[in-house]
Amino acid sequence: MKKLADYVVGNVERFGSHRMTREDVIEFASRFDPQPFHLDDLAAAVNPIFGRLAASGWHTASATMRMLVDHARQTGFTAMGSPGLKSLRWITPVYPGDVLSVESEILDARQSKSRPEIGLVEARTTTFNQHGETVMSMIATTVVPA
């Protein structure tokens, strides 16, 4: 199990692979973000931003989270929760057939002043498509054992 001292500011890791299928894009949108450009080819085709069926940004964020959790399990990372995100940006649309991967950079790692038994790790997570284009970025803080 990793502890606070194991997180080195500046450390960068690249990992994960998640294919966004057409079926998954439509299913996710149907349940959680039922906007026409996530559900219907014709509506998406006339959308000046997407031009074709596109995944919900929340679907992209969920796929990113899955890759983060899978990587955490493989590397002994123990998250105790999160106080939230500092930023979240969707930069390039994600389309059915895109294969996503993740890069995580440690920005800060510190012991909590009010609760010394926990540490706070701030990381920038960048999600890429198969062309190396950035599709999403976020900065989040995770609570870890001190």
Structural domain spans, the chain: 4-145
CB neighbour list of residue 66: distance below 8 Å, 6 or more residues apart:
18
Q: Which fold has domain 4-145?
A: Thiol Ester Dehydrase; Chain A (3.10.129)
pLDDT for position 117: 95
d(CA 133, CA 40): 25
For residue 44, the model assigns a pLDDT of 97
SS3 at position 103: strand
90 neighbors 60 (Cβ within 8 angstroms): yes
CB 16 within 8 A of CB 70: yes
User: Using CA atoms, how far apart are residues 57 and 59, in angstroms rounded to an integer?
Assistant: 5
Task: Check residue 78 and give its pLDDT.
Answer: 85
pLDDT of residue 1: 87
Q: Which portions of the chain are predicted below pLDDT 50? A: none
Question: Helical H runs in the chain?
Answer: 22-32, 36-39, 41-45, 57-75
* Of the candidates 83, 34, 80, 82, the residue with the CA atom closest to the CA atom of residue 56: 34
CA distance 45 to 52: 5
Say what the alpha-carbon torsion angle 29, 61, 68, 21 is, to the nearest 10 degrees.
Answer: 40
Look up the pTM and report it. 0.95
